[in-house]
Amino acid sequence: MNRSLVGKVAIVVGASRGIGKGIALQLAEVGATVYITGRTLLPDGRGTSLTDCAEEIKKRGGRAIPIQCDLEKDDEVKELFERVSREQNGRLDIVVNSAFSSAQEHLDNMGERKSFWDLPLEPWTQNINVGVRGYYTCTVYAARLMVPARTGLIVNMSSEAGLTYLYGFTPSYCVSKMAADRLASDCAQELREHGVTCLSLWPGATRTERVMEWVTNLPGDETSPNSVHKNRVMLNSESNEYAGKTIVHLASDPDIMKKSGRIFTTGDLADAYGFKDIDGRSPPDFVRRLRDRLSLKGYTRLAAWVPSFVKIPNWMLYAYYQLL
């Protein structure tokens, strides 16, 4: 078994379910001691919890320490990092900002197709307070431990919504992801001289618990747009541990500093490091892999002729979205 992160200490914020849970599972599986945080400590009947995640990590032979923490409460965030410092003699190697508190609201909105002015204001508060201010607070406290040690990795989980409007997602979601990307870039400028890496990671469509429940209940027959989306995108998407495999490789990379301040898709890094998902597949990269993007748009015959290694340059993506 790969034990490349034995002795490393990690914090995964937002690990009770979804991508955060998958990241925690992968980090612990390769030997890291992982502090998993979130608002749901015990099972509440609405999904998995931190204790569920910790139990699964234990079954895999890893070590997890669950800590209930609300990113909207500064004192709880401060206590989280103080506790890690006390228990690990000041050591902290990896922090992953993966908290996301309005997933259900966005899924509901994709089904109902409401305009932003017809929605309540709570998603703005959740997206900005958790996905921007919470990320920043964790980055501040992480830096206070990592800078003296002159080493560390901070990853902000973001998405393509940071670059363009995504239909069905509220403007507040897109703003929060753009801010997460900029936060990683700007913090990296000051952290670089201290040996600390900060970057932003875009997972693709991911089979999280809530997403799969939503997909299963999509209305329509096999020819409906919903079924086409389900079969072409969601059932061919990333597992919730794919991003975790990405971060394991990042944390093991001796030249990681070259990636600081930048934005990567999980597909970018899977190609660079040469790994596949937990089921042995290479999930599509609908952002940068030309073949997959053509397939997403329905040009399946044309896509079949495009080699998988052909990528859309970042400058072209930015230019394209500016013209939309």
Tell me the three state secondary structure of residue 22.
helix
Element (DSSP H or E) covering residue 85:
helix 74-87
Tell me the three state secondary structure of residue 263.
strand
Closest CA to 98 of 18, 166, 160: 18
Tell me the C-alpha distance between 113 and 106, whole Å. 10
Closest CA to 311 of 269, 257, 273, 249: 269
Active-site choice (35, 135, 141, 173): 173
165 is catalytic: no
CA torsion sign for 164, 314, 24, 240 is positive
CA torsion sign for 138, 143, 149, 151 is positive
Q: At residue 158, what is the residue type?
A: S
Burial label, 227 (beta-carbon count in 10 A; 0-12, 13-18, 19+): middle
Backbone angles phi, psi at 114, to 5 degrees: -85, 150
Tell me the C-alpha distance between 112 and 102, whole Å. 16
CA–CA–CA angle 82, 88, 89 (5° rounding) = 85
Catalytic residues: 173
